[in-house]
């Protein structure tokens, strides 16, 4: 046992396929406790065979925060550090040693790298910082979905510790439905209408569902909220409104909202790249070159979940290569498509573009 008592806790349902991999990763902890909310496969049996302490209970009505809080109740009171993960997540090895190295007496939470998605070639896609490691006392999960930890203890929470060496990867089941998200998000906003984060997530969910008018209405409301001051998230709302306008055929409105997003968060690549893609569709090659150049001038990748994989992948160079090619700048086109291939070497379309552009250059 290390200098701190570390307990992993989780919720699950029908995740037999992930048990062995997850337990291999979480076995660095002193204890693993799991709340199973109604599995119909061999999840419970396999978890117990690997040493997890499993409690089976149904959460009715279903809410993620209620399930998380019930699973947290299963963590022994003498635990120093609670580590909340899901069964489709995996830590890189030696996470426990690094966690004990950075943890200090009285700490509240730990911040660490989280890769939410991976590109087809296996490289990291969306990566941001997570904070689901916390002290045993004083914390509670809130919100029916997209739940977060809230300090409800006495006084102020302990300080946040941080490490880039703790890495958690997300490898989800692509067949798993997210159908319950929308009603739970609507419930979240109904319960806490002044929570700007939930309003933003609800508007984004409407966008995912193609409910363009609901998306626009909800995200305009988000932008009007006095507490909605985080520029990254405000810019994302503007971009989603722009996408909804574009889908409705309101092209000038879409362009204006994209430009507002650029102005709101000029430190992010995503608004520039959205505009570049819109202008690509309109064959405005000068505009494509300008906005991709603006995006590429940003060289430090943000740590927030707002950061999207495409803007930091081959896409900026890909669009630039085509814009240069279409304007007859063949040397520049070849240079850019080579840069795109350096990021995504197995992309057959990019390889074909390189051959085409090299022929034009010759």
Overall number of domains in the chain: 3
In percent, the amount of the chain with pLDDT more than 70 equals 99
My answer on whether 160 and 194 are in the same domain is no
Angle at CA of residue 320, ends 315 and 325, nearest 5°: 130
Task: Specify which residues 7 forms β-bridges with.
Answer: 31, 82
1 within a domain of the structure (yes/no): no
Angle between helices 269-281 and 315-326 (to 10 degrees): 40
- Residue 361 vs residue 320, higher pLDDT: 320
Q: Which pLDDT score, from 0 to 100, does residue 178 have?
A: 74
Residue 135: count of CB within 10 angstroms of its CB: 20
* Residues 214-255 pLDDT 10s: 999 999 999 999 999 999 999 999 999 999 999 999 999 999
Which residues, at least 6 apart from 69, have a Cβ–Cβ distance to it below 8 Å?
Answer: 140, 141
Instruction: Output the domain CATH number for residue 59.
Output: 3.90.550.10
- Tell me how far apart the alpha carbons of residues 138 and 146 are, in angstroms, rounded to a whole number: 20
Residues 230 and 138 in one domain: no
* pLDDT higher than 70, residue 1: no
Integer Cα distance of 10 and 87 in angstroms: 7
Question: Are 251 and 151 found together in one domain?
Answer: no
CA angle 118, 166, 139 (to 5 degrees): 105
Count other Cβ atoms within 10 Å, centred on residue 195.
16
CA–CA dist 293, 295 (Å, integer): 5
Considering the domain architecture, whether residues 54 and 120 belong to the same structural domain is answered as yes
Q: How far apart are CA 19 and CA 47, in angstroms?
A: 6
């Amino acid at each position: 046992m290390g200098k701190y008592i570390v307990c992993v806790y989780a919720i699950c349902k029908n995740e037999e396929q992930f048990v062995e991999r997850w337990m291999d990763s979480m076995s660095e902890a002193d204890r693993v406790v799991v709340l199973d909310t109604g599995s119909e496969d061999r999840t419970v049996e396999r978890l117990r065979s690997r040493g997890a302490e499993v409690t089976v209970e149904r959460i009715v009505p279903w809410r993620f925060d209620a399930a998380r809080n019930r699973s947290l109740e299963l963590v022994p009171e003498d635990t120093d550090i609670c580590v909340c993960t899901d069964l489709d997540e995996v830590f890189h090895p030696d996470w426990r040693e690094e966690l004990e190295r950075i943890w200090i007496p009285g700490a509240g939470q730990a911040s660490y790298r989280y890769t939410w998605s991976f590109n087809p070639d296996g490289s990291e896609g969306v990566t941001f910082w997570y904070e689901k490691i916390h002290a045993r006392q004083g914390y509670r999960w809130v919100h029916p979905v997209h739940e977060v930890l809230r300090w409800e203890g006495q006084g102020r929470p302990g300080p946040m510790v941080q490490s880039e060496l703790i890495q958690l990867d997300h490898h989800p089941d692509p067949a798993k439905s997210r159908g319950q998200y929308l009603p739970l998000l609507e419930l979240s906003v109904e319960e806490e209408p002044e929570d700007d984060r939930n309003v933003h997530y609800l508007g984004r969910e409407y966008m995912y569902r193609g409910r363009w008018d609901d998306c626009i209405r909800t995200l305009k409301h988000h932008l009007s909220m006095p507490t909605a001051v985080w520029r990254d998230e405000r810019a994302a709302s503007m971009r989603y409104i722009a996408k909804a306008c574009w889908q409705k055929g309101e092209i000038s409105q879409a362009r204006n909202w994209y430009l507002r997003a650029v102005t709101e968060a000029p430190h992010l690549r995503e608004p520039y790249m959205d505009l570049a893609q819109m202008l690509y569709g309109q064959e405005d090659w000068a505009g494509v070159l300008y906005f991709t150049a603006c995006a590429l001038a940003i060289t430090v990748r943000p740590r927030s979940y707002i950061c999207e994989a495409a803007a930091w992948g081959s896409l900026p160079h890909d669009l630039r290569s085509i814009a240069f090619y279409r304007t007859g700048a063949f040397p520049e086109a070849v240079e850019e498509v080579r840069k795109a291939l350096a990021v995504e070497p197995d992309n057959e379309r990019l390889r074909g573009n390189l051959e085409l552009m090299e022929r034009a250059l010759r």
